[in-house]
Amino acid sequence: MLGLWKKSSLDEIRDGIAPIYPRLWRYCLAQTGKRDRADDLAQKTCLRALEKHESYQVGTHLDRWLFRMAHRLWLNEIRATAVRTGGGLVALEETEIPDSSATAEENIFLSEVFTKIGALPEGQRVVVLLAYVEGFTYQETADTLGIPIGTVMSRLASARKKVAGALSASAVEAGV
């Protein structure tokens, strides 16, 4: 009889959150730009996942479901903040993501790349984060954001072009 026991959605979520949490938190940090806000968003996402466990299909990609939930919660928070204060977005260059394994020169370059990515429109920035930082496939990125795969590819192409152009312009200004 024990072999017939199937894992419930709540069990799978409870068991699956811990291994995914560092990636979820990193995504939340990239979205919010601040560690304390990333903590809050990641915790809200986990709480919402537990509350909405009935809507999770056992055996599917829990990480994709959590990322989609975090994305929606963040968009709701931005909208609410914009209504209250007229603002809501955090400049990506204000984020706190150090890379202790890189050299100072690499960190300067990565900081510049990150700044250029931060200057992208939000739609392009989020697609870049999911596809290039989190390693989602184009289809997984599209599903997470609820947009067509063609839009993902278009946004990535535009983002690459903008970042490359901005980095080239910076190099020319610096005399490199």
Closest CA relative to residue 46, chosen from 77, 75, 19: 19
Handedness of CA 6, 141, 21, 54 (dihedral sign): negative
Q: For domain 7-91, give the fold.
A: Rna Polymerase Sigma Factor; Chain: A (1.10.1740)
Round to whole Å and give the CA distance between 138 and 9: 26
What pLDDT sits at residue 112?
A: 76
39-48, 97-106, 108-117, 140-149: the lowest-pLDDT one: 97-106
User: Could you name the CATH architecture of 98-176?
Assistant: Orthogonal Bundle (1.10)
164 band by pLDDT with thresholds 50, 70 and 90: confident
Q: Please, are residues 42 and 26 in contact by the beta-carbon 8 Å criterion?
A: no
Handedness of CA 51, 52, 56, 61 (dihedral sign): negative
SS (H, E, C) 3-23: HHCCCCHHHHHHHHHHHHHHH
Question: Is the pLDDT reported for residue 125 higher than 80?
Answer: yes
The counts of H helices and E strands in the chain are 7, 0
Question: Is the pLDDT reported for residue 44 higher than 50?
Answer: yes
Among the ranges 46-50, 59-63, 131-135, which has the highest mean pLDDT value? 46-50
Question: Is the pLDDT reported for residue 88 higher than 50?
Answer: no
pTM more than 0.85: no
What pLDDT sits at residue 40?
A: 95
For 36, phi then psi, to 5°, come to -65, -40
Domain range annotation of the chain: 7-91, 98-176
Distances (CA, A) of 13 to 7, 24, 68, 104, 165: 10, 13, 14, 40, 42
Closest CA relative to residue 155, chosen from 167, 141, 136: 141
For the chain, the average pLDDT equals 80
What pLDDT sits at residue 114?
A: 75
23-32, 41-50, 108-117, 133-142: the lowest-pLDDT one: 108-117
Q: How far is CA 106 from the centre of its chain?
A: 23
